[in-house]
Chain A
Amino acid sequence: MKQRLTFLKTILFALTLISGALAQNAAAKHHSEFPLNCQECHTCKNPTFEKPCLRITPHLIRKGAPSKHSLKEAPEKITIDLLSNKYGPVVFSHKDHAAMAAMGDKCESCHHHNPPGKILACSSCHDAKSNQPSGQKPSLKAAYHQRCIGCHKSWDSTWQKKTQCETCHAKKGSTPLKIRKLVNPSFPEMERAKIPETFTYKSDNEDAPIVTFHHGAHATMYVDKCETCHSNETCADCHGSKVKEREISHETCESCHDTESEEKCGLCHDQKQKPSFSHQAYGFTLDTTHAQFECKVCHLNRNFDKKPQCLNCHHSYHFPAQKPGKAVRVIKKKKAEAK
């Protein structure tokens, strides 16, 4: 009886093993059966196991994968303490960088080969040890250095006496330094308050050569995000020792302003610097109540040529004798400005 039991047990064990292996085989389909474009990873037409002819850096869906994520998900700070035996940890202000990246290469400027889905950390692809000579993927240390030092290379601007490893790598035991101090002191924090107010340009228009651009008003009132206008910027364009001089043309403004019709020239072109737009100049005081609303609430379809009608919102019978009169339309207040 006992012998029979052991025999049965062995059979059961063998069956489990076999079925397990079968199940695994069924699950692991060869990736060539997936709807993928072979050329994204392989350079040749018929890759084999011996000669896979893999691309050195596969062009996985490089653009767009991280764009489904919002800044809110981004971690505030990332502490890198790989070399904790030699240096103190490096504190990387991730969220600040992520916010700025919106004006440049977006999240992809660092998360460059992120497959769709979860945003991966550098260490999920870059190994601590470089995989030279077989592959050309930088080691984790090199990946960090390449990303950071590309911008934070301040020692080079003047042949200073010392390199500045300790700017990021605080000496063991001391408090981590703020990398922010490295960038050009004229743009220490890039707060909204420090946004340049007014730019004046000289155009080749003979009658009215001066073009005034009220940058501050655009940044605070008309446009909700910097990246609406500022795309494809590099860090050094603003944080460098010299702020990049931009070429301004009709194309710069035409996404919002009509630059074709001749009667509209006067909006920007004049013989002298133009004052900033004010509702007051057009006989309307933008009081605190009205300032809470989005522009399109009064300027229907954002048509700024047409004078807004008070009667769109206020009851004609009581208004304007009885201010504000009975509201005929319930208006949502615009979101509090993110600071």
Chain B
Amino acid sequence: MNTQSRREFLKTAGLLGAGIAGIKPKEAAASPVNIVSDDRMGVLVDSTVCIGCRQCEIACKEEHGLPVGSLDDYMDRTLLAEMRRPDTTALTVINEYPNPKNPDQHTDLKVQCMHCDHPACVSACIVGAFSKQENGAVIWDESRCIGCRYCMVACPFQVPAFEFDKALEPKIMKCDLCYDNRTSKGKLPACVEACPQNALIFGKRYELLQLAHQKIQDRPQSYFDHIYGEHEVGGTSWLYLSNQDFASLDFPDVGTEPMPGATEPLQHALFKFFIPPVALYGLLGGIMWLGKGNKAEEEE
């Protein structure tokens, strides 16, 4: 109750201050868009259905204006023997792993940005270039980015990629859930639309979770009883079902606490309410005061 009233007081004070300075309250709030909506969308990846045809890779490149290359190259399955990561040339990739339930087949897995509910990149970005939109998409704003690459360090899944080879205007490249041209307009992401197996299901995150739980319940013999992304790093928009333990599929064990949880309060507290300048000048003043005292003693 106490803190609430204090918070209320500060809010009003802030608003008043902003009003006096002639700034709208929205602009006065420096923190970026970071919405965790109840109706946020997500994608459920049923890796037991995925066949690794790589149609999603092609669709993603076409959607984002990246060079697709020869379509015949995507039929070549020899490169699936090695693990790949999304990079500046491919925002999503398919990896292949042994299938313990059927030695004749493999488990295929699509990898891209997980679109965390509490994204570390949004928290780490010092200029607010990253944002979590209301529909769940975590996107990057080119006009704000200063190229510090803190997002790359912060990401628990090591997804953001940087165009190191570009001297001018290098971009941070990662899956944007096709925010600009598709999902913000109620359309499906390009990869989901392209999937010939419907291994990717786009929908409201809470509905996808219901569906995923129902799938495990209906066919317990086909699934490993875990939905990766339900609780990982406080929940992600992309959810995965698999036939085996996620540790054997190169999914990192990231815990269930949101990544920004540890750093953000500290970081934000430091920069809020002019603590650093006040502390710095306070310290300097203190030293000066102490020095003055010493001098006075010497003089005596």
B211 touches A162 (CB 8 A): no
What residues on B are CB-neighbors of A56 within 8 Å? 207, 210-211, 214
Interface string of B56-86 (1 = CB under 8 A from A): 0000000000000000000111101100000
What residues on B are CB-neighbors of A160 within 8 Å? 77
- Asked if B154 is an interface residue, CB under 8 A from chain A, the answer is no
A→B interface (CB under 8 Å): 55-57, 130, 132-134, 136, 138-139, 141-143, 145-146, 149, 153-157, 159-163, 236, 240-242
- Asked if B18 is an interface residue, CB under 8 A from chain A, the answer is no
A162 touches B104 (CB 8 A): no
A149 touches B51 (CB 8 A): yes
Interface size class of B (residues with CB under 8 A): 20 to 34
- Asked if B204 is an interface residue, CB under 8 A from chain A, the answer is yes
B77 touches A155 (CB 8 A): yes
* A138-B198, A159-B78, A162-B76 given; A236·B102 CB < 8 A: yes
A132 touches B201 (CB 8 A): yes
* A156-B105, A159-B78, A236-B104 given; A132·B214 CB < 8 A: no
B104 touches A157 (CB 8 A): yes
Q: How far is the CA of A142 from the CA of B193 in the complex (A)?
A: 11
B104 touches A240 (CB 8 A): yes
Q: List 26 A-B contacts (CB under 8 A).
A: A56-B210, A130-B193, A132-B188, A132-B192, A132-B201, A132-B202, A133-B204, A136-B201, A138-B198, A143-B198, A145-B51, A145-B197, A153-B51, A153-B104, A153-B105, A154-B104, A156-B105, A156-B106, A157-B105, A161-B76, A161-B78, A162-B75, A236-B102, A240-B102, A240-B103, A241-B103
Within 8 A of A (CB), among B184-233: 188, 192-193, 195-198, 201-204, 207, 210-211, 214, 218
What residues on A are CB-neighbors of B211 within 8 Å? 56, 136
- What's the nearest-Cβ distance from chain B to residue A235, in Å? 10
- Asked if B53 is an interface residue, CB under 8 A from chain A, the answer is yes
* A56-B214, A157-B105, A159-B77 given; A142·B198 CB < 8 A: yes
A133 touches B188 (CB 8 A): yes
What residues on B are CB-neighbors of A138 within 8 Å? 197-198
- Asked if B15 is an interface residue, CB under 8 A from chain A, the answer is no
- What's the nearest-Cβ distance from chain A to residue B142, in Å? 28
* A56-B211, A136-B203 given; A146·B198 CB < 8 A: yes
* A133-B41, A149-B51 given; A162·B201 CB < 8 A: no
Closest to B214 in A: A56
What residues on B are CB-neighbors of A242 within 8 Å? 103
Interface centre among B195, B204, B218 (most CB of A within 10 A): B195
B197 touches A146 (CB 8 A): yes
Closest to B41 in A: A133
What residues on B are CB-neighbors of A240 within 8 Å? 102-104
Within 8 A of A (CB), among B74-115: 75-78, 80-81, 96, 102-106
B104 touches A133 (CB 8 A): no
- What's the nearest-Cβ distance from chain A to residue B39, in Å? 11
B104 touches A141 (CB 8 A): no
Interface centre among B77, B192, B210 (most CB of A within 10 A): B77
- What's the nearest-Cβ distance from chain A to residue B218, in Å? 8
- What's the nearest-Cβ distance from chain A to residue B245, in Å? 20
Q: How far is the CA of A240 from the CA of B78 in the complex (A)?
A: 22
Q: How far is the CA of A236 from the CA of B204 in the complex (A)?
A: 36
Instruction: Using A132-B192, A149-B51 as known contacts, list a sample of 18 further A-B pairs with CB atoms less than 8 Å apart, ordered by residue number in A.
Output: A56-B211, A133-B188, A134-B203, A136-B203, A141-B196, A142-B198, A146-B197, A146-B198, A149-B197, A153-B51, A156-B96, A157-B105, A162-B76, A162-B77, A163-B75, A236-B104, A240-B102, A240-B104
Q: How far is the CA of A154 from the CA of B41 in the complex (A)?
A: 35
- Asked if B119 is an interface residue, CB under 8 A from chain A, the answer is no
- Asked if B49 is an interface residue, CB under 8 A from chain A, the answer is yes
- What's the nearest-Cβ distance from chain A to residue B236, in Å? 17
Q: How far is the CA of A163 from the CA of B54 in the complex (A)?
A: 10
Q: How far is the CA of A231 from the CA of B275 in the complex (A)?
A: 72
A163 touches B53 (CB 8 A): yes
Q: How far is the CA of A146 from the CA of B192 in the complex (A)?
A: 15
B202 touches A133 (CB 8 A): yes
Instruction: Determine which of A142, A155, A163 lies in contact with B197 in the assembled complex, contact meaning CB atoms within 8 Å.
Output: A142
What residues on B are CB-neighbors of A161 within 8 Å? 75-78
- Asked if B235 is an interface residue, CB under 8 A from chain A, the answer is no
What residues on A are CB-neighbors of B201 within 8 Å? 132-133, 136
Q: How far is the CA of A157 from the CA of B192 in the complex (A)?
A: 26
- Asked if B52 is an interface residue, CB under 8 A from chain A, the answer is yes
A139 touches B198 (CB 8 A): yes
Q: How far is the CA of A270 from the CA of B136 in the complex (A)?
A: 68
Closest to A240 in B: B104
A57 touches B214 (CB 8 A): yes
What residues on A are CB-neighbors of B81 within 8 Å? 159
* A236-B104, A240-B102 given; A156·B78 CB < 8 A: no
Q: How far is the CA of A29 from the CA of B182 in the complex (A)?
A: 41
What residues on B are CB-neighbors of A57 within 8 Å? 214, 218
What residues on A are CB-neighbors of B195 within 8 Å? 142
- What's the nearest-Cβ distance from chain A to residue B208, in Å? 8
Q: How far is the CA of A156 from the CA of B105 in the complex (A)?
A: 5
What residues on B are CB-neighbors of A159 within 8 Å? 77-78, 80-81, 96
What residues on A are CB-neighbors of B214 within 8 Å? 55-57
Q: How far is the CA of A145 from the CA of B214 in the complex (A)?
A: 21
